[in-house]
Amino acid sequence: MLVRTTVASGLLLLSGAAEACSRVTYHAKVDDRITNGRSMDFVASTNSSIFVFPAGLNKNGSVADNPLKWTSKYGSMIVTMYDKVSIDGMNTEGLTGSLLYLGASDYGARNTSRPGLAIGYWLQYYLDQFATVSEAVADLNKTNLQVVTAALVPGVSSTGHISLSDKSGDNAVFEYLDGALVVHHGKQYQVMTNDPSYDDQLALDRYWEPISNVSLPGTSSPADRYVRLSYYNRLSPDSADLAGVDVWPTLWRTYQDPHDMAFFYESAVMPISVYMFYSDFNFKKGAEVMNLPLREYNWELLQGNMKSNFTKAEPFTPIGGNL
């Protein structure tokens, strides 16, 4: 079962994802297996952890005025950035999500008539509350939340867009441009990188698709990576056995298999490669929050199945929050 991430991993490498964040959803078709992969690229170590959150946790948007409030319906396993942002994860229903940097993001001036949600919990909210992409999309108008951001790393804006996928292969991209929410919803939205906005990424793909068999853009820019990843994803065979450029190094990659409910993490800078099966964890209401630090200093312990390596923890306070 562990080789079933091979195609998703290979797609990320072929796209040139060693230069900045990329995400792909691969559909095996012959057995309806969906595999999601993402690379995390940044200027410095993200000091990440893996958290296990059970259902039934009372949460809020962690902003001072009119915070969004909810009680998690589903458990989830997520990877953090500096233990301040849920950056990637999958819930117990097989809904997966990734938050990728998008410098063009504009969430608008704070409007306290709308429930506020710290950007560090933006992805977490969807993993907590929804089983499918369609449910998450339907909630957008109902909740009318506003994402609130704050500085995380000096000189780097803490802004991004979200990609969600579910067991059926449905996908959605959420981003805020000029203060307005823009949504792309459908099974065709299988690839996402960083800048430019998703509309522009799609336009570039339409330009390159007719000539992609003879030519592909070759730089490390997010736009070129999007084109290459889209091409290789279309080219990948059906398989039942899944055997101005700002260049940052790849730090780690994650893969989620909602068919067998497995989560994989591998470091690109240290010999760290771990996996977890959801059946080994208690996601039920009343269970403990669990945590697995992924710091480089204890890399010798971060090999293989991590079911016995998690310890009890408290939920983190997200970036953007000021409570």
Which residues are tagged catalytic?
Answer: 21
Which of 250, 254, 248, 278 is closest to 266 using CA atoms?
254
As a whole number of angstroms, the longest Cα–Cα distance in the chain is: 56
Distance CA 236, CA 270 (A): 29
Compute how many other C-beta atoms are within 10 angstroms of the C-beta atom of residue 115: 18
Distance CA 2, CA 7 (A): 12
Using DSSP bridges, classify how beta strands 146-148 and 116-118 pair: parallel, antiparallel or unpaired.
Answer: parallel
C-alpha distances (whole Å) from 147 to each of 6, 88, 93, 197, 299 are 35, 17, 24, 17, 35
